[in-house]
Amino acid sequence: MNTTSTHFVPPRRFEIYETTLNQVSMWEENFKNNGGIYIPNSIIIPTDAKQDSLSDDTSHGTPHKFDQEASTSRHPDKTQRRLAQNREAARKSRLRKKAYVQQLETSRLKLIHLEQELDRARQQGFYEGNRVDTNALGFSVKMSSGIVAFEMEYGHWVEEQNRQISELRTVLQGQVSDVELRLLVDNAMKHYFQLFRMKSAAAKIDVFYIMSGMWKTSAERFFMWIGGFRPSELLKVLLPHFDPLMDQQVLDVCNLRQSCQQAEDAVSQGMEKLQHTLTDSVAAGNLGEGSYIPQITCAMERLEALVSFVDQADHLRHETLQQMHRILTTRQAARGLLALGEYFQRLRALSSSWATRQREPT
């Protein structure tokens, strides 16, 4: 008996092993130790194509015949049958495992998708007016993951904003030290600056989205100027809350109002020019010939400029807040930030009320 010869065990379906008698007993051991599940150690399992040619090479010819005379010792039939059963069990096990892993992957993706939907739904409940408007108009916006992330972040931002406003309100009703108040004011300022950073990142992903204000409630959108609130509007809202102002402060506020208006007007005119040049580049060439390829590059370049306009508008908002902070005392700044926060809260509440009113049947 040649114990080291190659044994072609039939590819009942697909597998052929090159093995020795020692390996046969190793398998049996393996099989027993692994609870009946066969786990090959160092077996070479060639592909189907190879198998076909190999089986053709066997001297016995028929693929289903066991070639065992040279291999087994005492109970050839039993061993070979057990081996075949091992292989079959192992193969089935691998197929089951593969199916299970695929199922896990699909479920995982589904879970992520559901989590995102849930967050969006939570926001819908929060900003009723916002979503109703878009649905009524039939918008179905396909949002990139960056924008979806921005919407979620913005939801958190508003929650934190509301918390800060409540805290300011409570604290200002009682006795509070300037030190503690300064901390709250600084946090509120940082919170606004954080929003500007978020918007800047989102504008790079989809500037039209930021410009459209789809992430805001309808009433807020109505007052929008280049992707956010008007700096001059901010000053108009806050001013009544600062009386009494010292003389120097009155002067400073007056200067700020004027320069804010001038800066806003300048940027607005720049925006108008951008719109004109964009119209020109879209309408360039011969309309009606159905060819837009050459002009589209020019138009795309114009659109890039839109991102810098959104950034500039936020820069004006940032600087206006900063200057107010510089001019006012800590206590005045706290009252101002509370007033500003409540103003936006009221706009959001107005949006909800309006949306609910429209839903009622006439």
Partner 1 sequence: MDKVMRLSSEKGVVIFSKSSCCLSYAVQVLFQDLGVSPKIHEIDKDPECREMEKALMRLGCSKPVPAVFIGGKLVGSTNEVMSMHLSSSLVPLVKPYIC
Residues 193-232: x/- map of binding to partner 1 (CB under 8 A)? ----------------------------------------
**186 is an interface residue for partner 1 by CB under 8 A:** no
Left, alpha or beta for 35 (phi > 0: left; psi -120 to 50: alpha)? Answer: left
Residue with Cβ nearer partner 1 (84 or 299)? 299
Residues 6+ apart with CB under 8 A from 235: 253, 256, 257, 260, 320, 324
Binding-site size, partner 1 (CB under 8 A): 29
Q: Which span (14-22, 50-58, 102-110, 261-269) binds partner 1, by CB under 8 A?
A: 261-269
Find the binding residues for partner 1 in span 297-356 (CB under 8 A).
Answer: 301-302, 305, 308-309, 312, 315-316, 319-320, 322-323, 326
In order, the DSSP letters of 105-157 are HHHHHHHHHHHHHHHHHHHHHH-HHHHHHHHHHT------HHHHHHHHHHHHH
Helix axes 128-137, 330-359, angle to 10 degrees: 40
- Out of 78, 98, 113, 273, name the contact with partner 1 by CB under 8 A: 273
Residue type, position 303, single letter: L
**119 is an interface residue for partner 1 by CB under 8 A:** no
Q: Which span (48-56, 188-196, 271-279, 285-293) binds partner 1, by CB under 8 A?
A: 271-279
Find the binding residues for partner 1 in span 52-111 (CB under 8 A).
Answer: none
In Å, what is the CA distance from 66 to each residue of 8, 11, 29, 58, 291? 8, 10, 22, 11, 72
Find the binding residues for partner 1 in span 276-295 (CB under 8 A).
Answer: 277
Residue 184 phi/psi, 5° resolution?
-65, -40
**260 is an interface residue for partner 1 by CB under 8 A:** yes
Length of the chain: 362
**262 is an interface residue for partner 1 by CB under 8 A:** yes
Q: Report whether 211 contacts 310 (CB < 8 A).
A: yes
- Out of 170, 255, 279, 356, name the contact with partner 1 by CB under 8 A: 255
Residue with Cβ nearer partner 1 (188 or 316)? 316
Helix axes 145-173, 178-205, angle to 10 degrees: 160
Residues 6+ apart with CB under 8 A from 36: 89
Residue with Cβ nearer partner 1 (231 or 341)? 231
CB 185, min distance to partner 1, A: 19
What's the rounded Cα separation, in Å, for the pair 127 and 344?
A: 13
CB 305, min distance to partner 1, A: 6
Residues contributing to the site for partner 1 (CB under 8 A): 252, 255-256, 259-260, 262-263, 265-267, 269-271, 273-274, 277, 301-302, 305, 308-309, 312, 315-316, 319-320, 322-323, 326
